[in-house]
């Protein structure tokens, strides 16, 4: 009995240390953040355990949890919601889409793109760009009463990556008649070639999204090869021929000193593994790899980044690169921000931080669209 009690006690200590993360003093509603952070870490811990013992895959468990935040399509006195399929791709709705439609009296199109790992990259991009091209046809725009000169593309987190990639494609594709007026990217992840940017190191064990979990989720987009996450943790996964691309994400020159802090830039070790993954160097997966000539054609841009977020520096580097080629950029940096704050808006534990981000985003759209 004593041995069982000891084992249980050690397990509890291990588990508590696994989920515990110090909360920075400038973050408000710390008790809510602590609960949300613990819930996220417990969920990923259980997902990994279930996967290791063969109950269900990591992604299946995480998808099951995320579906709890799903908003069923419904209309009310302020919004008309139509759940349909465009170009064989279903549309989706969520809290932010509904809020945007209501506050701006806008037509909002949500894309229910196919998910990894059942559908690997570039399926997600292809679903999004196919639907956008379809919607930008004159007859479709006219059907929904959309002004073709006032079109905005937006997304948060991995959706921000897809929004950036779609905008690059639309603006640089001569066959697409109507272009994007604005793009809005909320705490986006914009590159996968360097997993040791200062924000990835600083927030390695950060709130809600840790570096290890971020790497796990990215790898699910790319391959079923289970060795990739470990190579990404070591920053030793890029092919030798990718060397010229690192100038586009070189944080030692593109990141303001405030965010570089005392970190020292070290170029990743190249060619250590022979992964046959074109996605690693594809601008549709890493919009930050786009050349300056492609970036010059982009529209006015809104980028929101959060201090306590592993992908913080992705957004800030994109701000620098866009401004360097003359694009008008509005950059909101939330000093007490955490990743995915908007994801908890329908939860009883919704954060005031999420309300602030939502209102900043809507205000910028209202002034510029």
In sequence order, the β-bridge partners of residue 305 are 333
DSSP code string of 88-149: TEEEE--HHHHHHHHHHT----EE----TTTS-TTHHHHHHHHHHHHHTSHHHHHHTT--TT
- With the CA atoms of 131, 181, 120 and 314 taken in that order, what torsion angle do they form, in degrees rounded to the nearest 10? -170
Coil, strand, or helix at residue 228? helix
Rg (CA), the chain: 21
Count of other CB atoms within 10 angstroms of residue 77? 5
DSSP letter (8 states) at residue 183: E
Distance separating alpha carbons of residues 328 and 70, to the nearest angstrom: 34
Helix/strand/coil (H/E/C) assignment for every residue in 325-368:
CCCCEEEEEEEEEECCHHHHCCCCCCCHHHHHHHHHHHHHHHHH
Alpha-carbon torsion (263, 267, 273, 274), positive or negative: positive
Which position among 154, 157, 195, 286 bears the catalytic label?
Answer: 157
Any idea how long the chain is?
Answer: 369
Query: What are the phi and psi torsion angles at 204 (to 5°)?
Result: -55, -40
Q: What Å distances lie between residue 129 and 122, 189, 279, CA to CA?
A: 11, 18, 17
293 is catalytic: no
Find the DSSP H helices in 223-274.
228-233, 251-254, 257-260
Catalytically active residues are 157
């Amino acid at each position: 009995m004593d041995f069982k009690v000891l084992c249980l006690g050690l397990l509890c200590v291990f588990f508590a240390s696994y989920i515990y993360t110090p909360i920075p003093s400038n973050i408000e509603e710390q008790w809510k953040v602590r609960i949300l952070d613990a819930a996220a870490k417990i969920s990923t811990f259980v997902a990994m355990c279930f996967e290791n013992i063969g109950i269900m895959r990591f992604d299946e468990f995480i998808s099951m949890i995320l579906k709890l935040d799903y908003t069923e399509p419904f209309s009310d006195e302020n919004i008309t919601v139509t759940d349909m399929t465009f170009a064989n791709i279903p549309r989706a709705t969520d809290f932010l889409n509904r809020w945007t439609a209501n506050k701006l009296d806008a037509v909002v199109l949500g894309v229910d793109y196919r998910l990894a790992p059942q559908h690997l990259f570039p399926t997600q991009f292809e679903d999004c760009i196919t639907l956008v091209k379809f919607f930008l046809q004159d007859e479709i725009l006219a059907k929904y009463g959309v002004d073709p000169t006032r079109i905005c593309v937006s997304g948060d987190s991995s959706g921000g990556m897809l929004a950036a990639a779609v905008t690059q494609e639309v603006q640089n594709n001569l066959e697409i008649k109507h272009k994007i007026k604005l793009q809005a990217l909320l705490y986006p992840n914009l590159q996968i070639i360097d997993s040791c940017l200062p924000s990835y190191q600083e927030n390695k064990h950060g709130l809600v999204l840790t570096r290890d979990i971020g790497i796990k989720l990215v790898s699910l987009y790319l391959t079923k090869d289970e060795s990739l996450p470990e190579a990404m943790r070591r920053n030793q996964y890029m092919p030798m021929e990718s060397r010229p691309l690192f100038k586009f994400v070189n944080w030692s020159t593109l990141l303001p000193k405030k965010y570089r802090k005392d970190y020292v830039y070290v170029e990743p070790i190249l060619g250590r593994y022979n992964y046959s993954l074109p996605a690693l160097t594809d601008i549709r997966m890493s919009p930050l790899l786009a050349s300056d000539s492609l970036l010059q054609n982009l529209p006015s841009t809104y980028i929101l980044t959060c201090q306590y977020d592993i992908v913080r520096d992705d957004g800030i580097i994109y701000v620098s690169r866009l401004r360097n080629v003359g694009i008008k950029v509005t950059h909101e940096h939330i000093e007490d921000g955490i990743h995915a704050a908007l994801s908890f808006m329908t939860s009883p534990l919704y954060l005031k931080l999420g309300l602030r981000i939502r209102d900043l985003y809507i205000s910028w759209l209202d002034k510029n669209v």
